[in-house]
């Protein structure tokens, strides 16, 4: 017979269930009969709620397998679901995802709004889920150790490494569920927003063809790579002959400078020249459906505002394009703006490469004899995009990478929890998280005296040799700075570099995330880093005396 | 004599379930300097089927000893074997049941979920888990409140959950740290019954408690620790049988008869009198050991008893925990049938 208190509990639970049912029914009603935008939103919320309940059920069923690792993971899942701190962060997540689009200014171009939504929805979700993972992992493990609960677990047939793996597995699976829910919510919102009115036709096309797609970026290459290499080598030799001492002193920088000079010259279309850029290995041979886009960000470095527009004609695979009455049409583009041409796939698909020739048609400014040059900044100034797939597959890959990054965060936090008490563990995890998210920034600001070598080993030995030389020369401060750079190298060899992983930016700019990127991150973030950090945590936990009373 | 008997034991009987040889534990501080010597050169042997009592004032090293036997703490020196293996060996732990001195439970899990969680760690298949959980919850009287989160439980109820989880794997070696603390008198009585019943079934039990009457009733052998060392060790009879005096017990005597008996005895006469070794109370022995150790200047890393020892002894009565009785269903008496059903143990579950 239930007691009075029991009866009250039961009735409260029944009320909550009834309220949830009414809410769900309401959402279902809107989803079926409401206006289109509300319908999409209701479907999204409905899918998230159902996904949470069903996903949790599936995970629990999976982890019901009676083994130490699955048992521990199952307890983490229960802890995550029932702890208040996770609830707070989940509410934050739930509020953050659907409220974001409301903050966007409807007067803004739709392209930017969609891009903003993709960036901030997924970026924000990653941040919140990372925090949740850190607090949950450290709270769970440090709580177990501080309260003595770990005495109960570790006196069962559960090895200490199994305990750590179980905690990590529980977090990873919980993150899998949450990332999937964020995915459902985000995707619904993005599609909802993208279905709304655009500023103009160009805006509409940009959303559909430059954001909600997956494209492969192909950089331009030189017409004759062999001749280029020879020219660079000749220039290097010349420089070495002209200034042997200075060159030997800082060879890496000198070579780098020469390369940059050559690149700059090549990407500048001077007034009297027709430049050729070859896009190779387009992978569109025989595939007439492939969509090819040319993106340029041309600059006319002229202080006179009247002459800052860029005028030019193009030819594709030696055929003028665009053509009007058999004549190449001169293109006029404002400087410092990005332009995208949809190229006729018939031209491209004939061969596996595209030769783009650009002739400078800029006007000659008064008092000068030559027209202003057209410059394409290296990197994104001139690119070809080949459409490789839809937005959905790309979105899915992006979510997978976010999840894998969270697996690293989980491993770091589990290791920290095994080593320190709760505040120190959270602090250590957050420091490492900040270092990996801001790794590029830190590397740039701390990596003094950049060195030429590309490999980590090469850079390290190079820095050490510099430091040794400075030590011999008695330049103490320089030696200290080089050693600091060395320490930075070592640090960022340990810390996973999240900032160099641009999957969210790629998704927002419609650049395909290659399947190989997912696989390498699966190996690196899903296995290698967790194994390394987990091992570190295990080494400490295995030697730790688990007593509650402080010695 | 002790060494001789153990030497013989190795030849004829199986090795002891718990063996500690020269075990010391020093806890170090942050700078790795030895700070606390919790246990010093401890030798302990618990044979199969023995109920062994480990006594000692607070901070005498009992809990550290237990944690070393459980593999939670690594000894600084010495060797420990539990069921013939290293204490950290996972295979050992399948056969160990442990009830810690406090309830270390996940507050967010219900009693049933808690038992299910530990059952899963013991790799028990679902069907067996469910069956045992039902029986254990009934045994500790929590079957009506099994679905409530443990954090809503009183201390005594949490102890009951702890006791239930320590039996979920049908352990060969049961380590009970303060099993009756926080229990109501009925619960405490029930636990004593359970320990006795389990002992009769050949289970090895290490009992660590301040309830000296329990120890006297239940334990085959005891150790009294102080300052990390064992100060007295042996069977209750050995330890509690006085060497310095004799006791004559007769039916009630008339004064003149008594005087006559004295005369007779004075003349070394033999009469219808029964001579018996006097038996001290365990409490007296305990106090003596502690007082002697203190007189010898031994220090303890734990609580300084000072004049508290008598108080500590007086407070041994089980105090109720204020839990409304209605929340607990009447505990099922521990009887042979219940234990039989608990121990109907499929061979695959424990790999035996």
C-beta atoms surrounding A158 within 10 Å = 25
Q: Give chain A's residues under pLDDT 50.
A: 1-2, 549-551
Give the pLDDT of residue B2. 40
Q: Could you give the strand order of the β-sheet that contains B96-99, starting from the edge strand earlier in sequence?
A: B96-99, B173-177, B204-208, B51-55, B221-226, B229-235
DSSP state for residue A511 in the 8-state scheme: B
Cα separation of B79 and B43, whole Å?
9
Cβ-contact A388, A214 below 8 angstroms: yes
Q: What number of C-beta contacts closer than 8 Å exist between A and B? A: 108
- Kindly report, residue by residue over B167-226, the tens digit of the pLDDT: 999 999 999 998 888 888 778 888 888 899 889 888 999 999 888 888 888 898 999 888
Classified as helix, coil or strand, B28 is: strand
Pairing between β-strand B34-46 and β-strand A374-375 as defined by DSSP bridges: unpaired
Q: Does B102 touch chain A (CB under 8 A)?
A: yes
B129 touches chain A (CB under 8 A): yes
Which residue intervals of chain B are DSSP H helices? Answer: 2-12, 62-69, 90-93, 111-121, 126-139, 155-166, 185-200, 212-218, 236-240, 255-266, 282-295, 309-314, 336-342, 347-350
Q: How far apart are CA A475 and CA A486, in angstroms?
A: 17
Q: Which residues fall within 8 angstroms of residue A10, CB to CB, at 6 or more apart?
A: A2
What is the rounded distance in angstroms from the CA atom of residue A355 to the CA atom of residue A358?
10
Query: Strands B173-177 and B204-208: what pairing?
Result: parallel
Could you tell me how many residues make up chain B?
352
Give how far B93 is from chain A: nearest CA, Å: 5
Q: Which residues of chain A lie closer than 8 angstroms to B98, CB-CB? A: 151-152, 155
Cβ(B144)–Cβ(B151) under 8 Å? no
Enumerate residue ranges in chain B where pLDDT < 70: 1-13, 242-251, 268-279, 297-352
B120, A74: Cβ pair inside 8 Å?
A: yes
Chain A: residues touching B (Cβ < 8 Å): 1-3, 6, 9, 64-68, 70-72, 74-75, 78-79, 82-83, 147-159, 543, 545-547, 549, 551
Indicate which of A7, A12, A66, A544 best probes the interface with B, i.e. most B CBs within 10 Å of its own CB: A66
Which pLDDT value is given to residue A189? 84
- CA A458/CA B10 separation, integer angstroms: 63
Got the DSSP string for A19-87? HHHHHHHHHHHHHHHS-HHHHHHHHHHHHHHHHHHHHHHHHHHHTTSSSHHHHHHHHHHHHHHH-HHHH
Q: Provide the sign of the torsion angle of the four alpha carbons B3, B4, B5, B10, taken in this order.
A: positive
CA-based nearest residue in chain A for residue B93: A157
Q: What is the pLDDT of residue A238?
A: 86
Tokens of B200: 């009769």
| Residues of chain A contacting B63 with CB distance shorter than 8 Å | 547, 549
- Find the distance separating the first CA and the last CA of chain A, reported in whole Å: 48
Residue whose tokens read 């080593």: A419
Angle, CA of A84, A89 and A95, to the nearest 5°: 125
- Interface membership of B28 toward A (CB under 8 Å): yes
What's residue B164's pLDDT?
Answer: 92
State the best of A545, A547, A550 to mutate against chain B, taking most chain B CBs within 10 Å: A545
> In this predicted structure, what is the pLDDT of residue B306?
38
Which one of A71, A78, A150 has the shortest CB-CB distance to B121? A71
A-contacting residues in B 322-351 (Cβ below 8 Å): 326-327
Per-residue pLDDT, B4 = 41
CB of B30 less than 8 A from some CB of A: no
Mind giving me the DSSP string for A420-482? S-HHHHHHHHHHHHHHHHTHHHHHHHH--S--S--SHHHHHHHHHHHHHHHHHHT-HHHHHHH
Measured distance between the N- and C-terminal CA atoms of chain B, rounded to whole angstroms: 35
The candidate with the shortest Cα–Cα distance to A60, out of A49, A73, A48, is A73
In this structure, is the dihedral angle defined by the CA atoms of residues A253, A256, A262 and A264, taken in order, positive or negative?
negative
* H or E element, residue A241: helix A225-242
Q: What is the pLDDT of residue B349?
A: 40
Rounded to the nearest 5 degrees, what angle is found at the Cα of B149, between the Cα atoms of B144 and B153?
75
With an 8 Å Cβ cutoff, are B72 and A547 in contact?
A: yes
Q: For A75, which residue in chain B has the nearest alpha carbon?
A: B117
Residue B310: the pLDDT is 32
- At residue A532, φ and ψ (nearest 5 deg) are -65, -50
pLDDT value at residue A10 = 57
Contact B27 A82 (CB under 8 A): no
Do A274 and A259 meet the contact criterion of CB atoms below 8 Å apart? no
- Kindly give, in sequence order, each residue whose CB lies less than 8 Å from that of residue B264, ignoring residues fewer than 6 positions away: B271
Using CA coordinates, name the residue in chain B closest to A544: B73
Rounded distance between C-alpha atoms, residue B240 and residue B249, angstroms:
18
Residue from A545, A482, A503, A299 nearest A400 by CA: A503
Q: Do B174 and B339 contact (CB within 8 A), yes or no?
A: no
Long-range residue pairs from A516-523, CB within 8 A, at least 24 positions apart, any chain: A517/A397, A517/A401, A518/A397, A518/A400, A518/A401, A518/A404, A521/A400, A521/A401, A521/A404, A521/A405, A522/A400, A522/A404
What is the rounded distance in angstroms from the CA atom of residue A76 to the CA atom of residue A165? 11
Indicate yes or no: CB of A158 within 8 angstroms of CB of B119: no
Supply the ipTM of this predicted assembly. Answer: 0.76
| Facing residue for A158 by CB, picked from B29, B121, B326 | B121
């Amino acid at each position: 017979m239930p007691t009075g208190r029991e009866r009250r509990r039961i009735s409260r639970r029944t009320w909550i269930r009834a309220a949830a049912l009414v809410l769900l029914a309401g959402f279902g009603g809107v989803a079926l009969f409401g206006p289109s935008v509300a319908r999409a939103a209701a479907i999204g919320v409905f899918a998230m709620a159902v996904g949470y309940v069903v996903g949790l059920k599936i995970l629990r069923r999976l982890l019901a397998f009676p083994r130490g690792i699955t048992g521990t993971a199952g307890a983490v899942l229960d802890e995550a679901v029932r702890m208040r701190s996770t609830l707070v962060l989940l509410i934050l997540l739930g509020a953050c995802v659907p409220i974001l689009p409301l903050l966007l200014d409807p007067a803004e171009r739709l392209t930017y709004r969609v891009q903003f939504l993709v960036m901030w929805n997924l970026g924000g979700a990653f941040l919140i889920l990372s925090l949740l993972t850190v607090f949950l992992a450290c709270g769970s493990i440090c709580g177990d150790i501080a309260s003595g609960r770990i005495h109960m677990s570790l006196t069962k047939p559960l090895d200490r490494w199994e305990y750590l793996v179980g905690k990590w597995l529980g977090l990873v699976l919980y993150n899998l569920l949450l990332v999937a829910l964020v995915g459902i919510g985000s995707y619904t919102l993005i599609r909802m927003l993208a279905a709304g009115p655009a500023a103009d036709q160009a805006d509409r096309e940009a959303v559909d063809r430059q954001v909600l797609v997956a494209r492969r970026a192909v950089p331009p290459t030189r017409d004759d790579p062999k001749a280029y290499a020879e020219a660079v080598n000749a220039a290097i030799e010349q420089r070495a002959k002209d200034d042997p001492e200075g060159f030997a002193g800082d060879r890496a920088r000198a070579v780098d400078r020469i390369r940059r000079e050559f690149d700059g010259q090549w990407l500048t279309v001077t007034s009297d020249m027709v430049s050729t850029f070859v896009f190779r290995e387009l992978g569109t041979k025989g595939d007439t459906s492939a969509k090819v886009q040319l993106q340029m960000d041309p600059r006319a470095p002229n202080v006179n505002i009247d002459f800052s527009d860029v005028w030019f004609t193009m030819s594709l695979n030696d055929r003028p394009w665009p053509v009007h009455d058999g004549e190449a049409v001169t293109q006029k583009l404002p400087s410092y703006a990005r332009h995208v041409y949809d190229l006729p796939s018939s031209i491209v698909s004939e061969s596996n490469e595209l030769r783009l020739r650009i002739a400078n048609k800029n006007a000659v400014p008064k008092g000068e004899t030559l027209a202003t040059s057209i410059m394409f900044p290296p990197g994104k100034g001139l690119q070809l995009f080949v459409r490789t797939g839809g937005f959905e597959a790309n979105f899915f890959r992006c979510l997978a990478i976010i999840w894998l990054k969270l697996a690293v965060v989980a491993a770091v936090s589990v290791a920290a929890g095994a080593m320190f008490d709760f505040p120190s563990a959270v602090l250590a995890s957050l420091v490492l998280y900040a270092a990996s998210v801001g790794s590029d920034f830190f590397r740039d600001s701390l990596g003094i005296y950049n060195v030429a070598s590309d490999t980590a080993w090469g850079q390290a030995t190079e820095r050490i040799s510099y430091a040794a030389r400075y030590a011999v020369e008695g330049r103490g401060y320089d030696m200290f700075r080089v050693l600091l750079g060395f320490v930075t190298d070592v640090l960022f060899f340990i810390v996973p570099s999240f900032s160099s992983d641009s999957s969210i930016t790629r998704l927002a700019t419609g650049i395909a995330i290659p399947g190989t990127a997912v696989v390498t991150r699966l190996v690196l973030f899903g296995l290698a880093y967790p194994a390394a950090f987990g091992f570190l945590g295990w080494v400490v936990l295995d030697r730790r005396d688990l007593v509650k009373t402080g010695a | 004599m002790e060494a001789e008997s153990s030497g013989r034991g190795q030849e004829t009987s199986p090795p002891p379930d718990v063996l500690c040889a020269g075990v010391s534990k020093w806890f170090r501080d942050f700078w790795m300097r030895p700070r606390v010597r919790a246990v010093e050169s401890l030798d302990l042997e618990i044979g199969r089927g023995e109920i062994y009592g480990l006594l000692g004032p607070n901070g005498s090293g009992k809990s550290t000893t237990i944690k070393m036997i459980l593999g939670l703490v690594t000894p600084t020196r010495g060797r420990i074997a539990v069921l013939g293996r290293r204490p950290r060996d996972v295979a050992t732990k399948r056969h160990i049941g442990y009830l810690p001195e406090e309830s270390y439970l996940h507050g967010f899990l219900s009693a049933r979920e808690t038992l299910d969680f530990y059952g899963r760690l013991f790799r028990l298949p679902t069907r067996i888990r469910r069956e045992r959980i039902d029986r254990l919850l009934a045994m500790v009287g929590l079957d009506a409140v099994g679905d409530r989160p443990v954090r809503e439980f009183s201390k005594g109820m949490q102890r009951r959950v702890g006791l239930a989880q320590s039996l979920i794997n049908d352990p060969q070696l049961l380590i009970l740290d303060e099993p009756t603390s926080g229990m109501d008198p009925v619960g405490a009585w029930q636990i004593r019954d359970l320990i006795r019943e389990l002992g009769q079934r050949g289970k090895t039990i290490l009992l660590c408690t301040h309830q000296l009457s329990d120890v006297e009733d239940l334990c085959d052998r005891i150790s009294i620790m102080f300052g990390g060392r064992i100060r007295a060790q042996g069977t209750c009879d050995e330890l509690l049988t006085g060497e310095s005096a004799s006791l004559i017990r007769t039916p009630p005597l008339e004064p003149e008869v008594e005087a006559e008996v004295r005369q007779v005895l004075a003349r070394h006469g033999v009469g219808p009198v029964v001579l018996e070794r006097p038996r001290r109370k365990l409490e007296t022995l305990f106090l003596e050991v502690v007082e002697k150790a203190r007189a010898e200047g031994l220090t303890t890393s734990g609580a300084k008893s000072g004049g508290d020892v008598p108080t500590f002894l007086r407070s041994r009565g089980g105090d109720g925990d204020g839990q409304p009785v209605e929340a607990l269903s009447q505990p099922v008496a521990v009887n042979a049938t219940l234990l039989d059903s608990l121990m109907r143990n499929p061979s695959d579950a424990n790999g035996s």
